[in-house]
Structures are given as structure tokens and as C-alpha cells.
Amino acid sequence: MVAVNSHMLGFLKKVAEYTQEAVSAAKYLAQGLGVTFDHMKRRPVTVQYPYEKLIPSERYRGRIHYEFDKCIACEVCVRVCPINLPVVDWVMNKETKKKELRNYSIDFGACIFCGNCVEYCPTNCLSMTEEYELSAFDRHSLNYDNVALGRLPTSVTSDPSVKPLRELAYLPKGVMDPHELPANKKRTGSLPIDIVKKLQKEKVDENNNQTDMDSKNLNSSD
């Protein structure tokens, strides 16, 4: 009888342990599903690269474009660069007493894309493009000479093999799929171009108001 009781107690203890484990497992499962359901309400952030690409922001600082014909070899870009990166290869022509530019290069393996050189170049021969795909197997191939720098940038919107996507932050509330959103649908945040247009309109209105006030003042003084 004692043996049967102890056997029974052991069985009940195991059942209790099993039940406890089953309850814990159900709790963890519910927590996991809670995270899943929470994500179902969020906006998608996955971009099927390289078939889909996000359109870079308008002020994106990507690979630098350089125009050889505009460069006067002044080396301002070298002086303002935090690491003196651009290499301006020029010689002095003794007859004309003018600099003759031979080559120009920037090593994008070391460049931090700060944009100082672009900002200070007196002839605007440097500009930042939206090109960001600069990965290479050999870091030395990132040292672009004036021919490589003069190549026009690739654009996400003009590449027929790529589906361009707008920045996900501009999607309207509740929209799950950014891929099928009509271009004219109202967005959560204003696009930079819309903000610029609004500021320009405000400035024009301000100028018009000022002109009206000036003409009124003139009339009253007459």
C-alpha cells in the first residue's frame, strides 16, 4: 500500500511538472506571437535589393563627380579636406606661366564623404551624387582618377532594371505596402521638395506684402 502511494505521488508530481512546463511553453508562445502580431501593424522595412532600391535623399552625399575642364588646379579642395585626400597633379607651363592640370584623383576607400571639397571648390567642378554602391574586392580600385570621377552617376529612378522605392518614412499612416502606393497619395511627412516649394511661396507672399505696404506708405505721404 505504501509502495502504491509513493508511486502515485511520483506520478502526480510529474503531472504537475508537465502542466507547469506546458503553461510556461504556452506563455512563451503567446509572447512570441505577440511580437509577430505587433510587427503586422508596422510598416514594412524590407527592400528586395538589388531588384528594389530606395531613392536616396535629395541631399545625399554619395560618390563625387568631377569636371576636368572646369578645374583650375587651385588645390583648395586639398586644403579643406580633413585628410588632404584629393590629388591634384599639375605642372607649371613656363611659357604661358599657367598651371597645366594632368590628373585628378580621389580615393573613395579613405574619403569620409564630408562634402568639404564640394562646398569650397571655387569653380563648382565637384558635386556629390546619389551613387552609393561603391563596394569593391580591391580597395585600390576605389582610387578614382579624373576619368572615373567624370563618369555620370547611376540613378535609381532611371535604371530600368530596378524598382525605385520612396523613403519609407513618408508613407501615410496605416499603409502597409509601400510598393503599390500611388505617387499622388498624401504622405505622413512632407517631402523635401514640398518644403522648399512652401518656403519659396512664403517668401513670395512676404515680398508681395512688403511691396503693398511700401506703396500704401508712399500714397499716404503724398
**C-alpha angle 204-208-210 in degrees, rounded to nearest 5:** 115
Please tell me the distance from the alpha carbon of residue 43 to that of residue 168, in angstroms, as a whole number: 8
The residue ranges of DSSP E strands in 108-197, in sequence order, are: 126-128, 143-144, 163-165
Contact between 115 and ligand SF4 per CB under 6 A: yes
> Would you give the DSSP letter of residue 106?
E
Q: How many CA atoms lie within 13 A of 114 on its CB side?
A: 15
Please tell me the distance from the alpha carbon of residue 74 to that of residue 76, in angstroms, as a whole number: 6
Q: Which stretch binds ligand SF4 (CB under 6 A): 25-33, 120-128, 135-143, 156-164?
A: 120-128
- Which of 75, 154, 168, 175 touches ligand SF4 by CB under 6 A? 75
Q: Which stretch binds ligand SF4 (CB under 6 A): 5-13, 104-112, 149-157, 186-194?
A: 104-112
Closest CB to ligand SF4 among residues 125, 171: 125
Full strand arrangement of the beta sheet holding 87-93: 87-93, 98-107, 143-144
Residue 121 β-bridge partners: none
Contact between 148 and ligand SF4 per CB under 6 A: no
Contact between 68 and ligand SF4 per CB under 6 A: no
- Which of 86, 131, 156, 171 touches ligand SF4 by CB under 6 A? 86
Q: Which stretch binds ligand SF4 (CB under 6 A): 18-26, 113-121, 136-144, 203-211?
A: 113-121
- Which of 47, 54, 55, 76 touches ligand SF4 by CB under 6 A? 76
Interaction site with ligand SF4 (CB under 6 A)? 71-77, 81-83, 85-86, 88, 106, 111-117, 121-123, 125-126
